Amino acid sequence: MSVTIYDVAKAADVSIATVSKVINKKGRISDLTRERVLKVMEELDYRPSVLASALMGKNTNTLGLLIPDIINPFFAELSRHIEDRANELEYNVIICNTDYQQEKEKNYIQLLKQKSVDGFILASGFEDPTEVERLIEEEIPVVIVAREFPLFSVNGVALNDYIGGQMAAKHLVDRGHQNIGIIARDLWSNRERVRGFCDYLQSQGLEKHPEFEFIRDDNLTHIITGKKAAEHYLTKNSRPSAIFACNDLLAAGAIQATRLHGLRIPEDIAIVGFDDTTLTRMIDPPLTTVAQPIEQMGNEIVDLMLGVIDGSVKGEKHITLMPSMKVRETT
DSSP 200-234: HHHHTT----TT---B---SS-HHHHHHHHHHHHH
Cα separation, 147 vs 134, in Å, equals 19
Task: Closer to a second copy by CB, 285 or 318: give it.
Answer: 285
d(CA 116, CA 99): 23
The residue among 24 and 296 lying less far from DNA, judged by its C-beta, is 24
23 binds DNA (CB under 7 A): yes
For a second copy, which residue of 6, 13, 43, 55 counts as binding (CB under 8 A)? 55
- Least CB distance to DNA at residue 47 (A): 7
Whole-angstrom Cα distance, residue 191 to residue 22? 54
77 binds, among a second copy, DNA, none (CB under 5 to 8 A by kind): a second copy
Q: Using CB under 7 A, which residues numbered 27 to 56 contact DNA? A: 27-30, 32-34, 48-49, 52-53, 55-56
What 8-state DSSP symbol labels residue 48? -
Q: Binding to DNA by residue 110, rule CB under 7 A?
A: no
223 binds, among DNA, a second copy, none (CB under 5 to 8 A by kind): a second copy
Kindly tell me the burial class for residue 294, based on how many C-beta atoms sit within 10 Å of its own C-beta (0-12, 13-18, 19 or more): buried
Dihedral Cα 260, 228, 271, 124, nearest 10 deg? -140
Smallest distance, DNA to C-beta of residue 25, A: 10
Among 67-75, 170-178, 190-198, 231-239, the segment contacting a second copy (CB under 8 A): 67-75
Residue 294 interacting entry, from DNA, a second copy, none, C-beta within 5 to 8 Å by type? none
Using rule CB under 7 A, residue 20 touches DNA? yes
Q: Which is nearer to a second copy, 18 or 330 (CB)?
A: 330
What is the rounded CA–CA span in Å between residue 67 and residue 106? 13
Using CA atoms, how far apart are residues 123 and 101, in angstroms rounded to an integer?
Answer: 13
Smallest gap from residue 20 Cβ to DNA (A):
3
- In whole angstroms, what is the distance from residue 144 CA to residue 302 CA? 10
Instruction: Using CB under 7 A, count the residues that bind DNA.
Output: 30
Positive or negative, the Cα torsion across 69, 117, 313, 153? positive
| Residue (49 or 204) nearer to DNA, CB | 49
Exposure string for 204-222, b = 16+ CB within 10 A, e = fewer: eebebbeebeebeeeeeeb
Give 257 or 308: the residue with its C-beta nearer to a second copy: 257
Closest CA to 99 of 78, 67, 68, 140: 68
Nearest to 64 by CA among 118, 28, 104: 118
Which of 47, 175, 236, 264 is in the footprint of a second copy by CB under 8 A?
A: 47
Q: Is 142 in the site for a second copy (CB under 8 A)?
A: no
Task: Tell me whether residue 116 or residue 238 sits nearer to a second copy (CB atom).
Answer: 116
Cα→Cα distances 67→88, 114, 144, 192, 271, Å: 21, 19, 11, 19, 27
Residues that bind DNA in the complex, under the rule CB under 7 A: 1, 4-6, 13-18, 20-21, 23-24, 26-30, 32-34, 48-49, 52-53, 55-58
Residues that bind a second copy in the complex, under the rule CB under 8 A: 2, 47-52, 54-55, 60-62, 69-71, 73, 76-77, 79-80, 83-84, 87, 90, 92-97, 110-116, 138, 221, 223, 249, 252, 255-256, 259, 278-279, 281-284
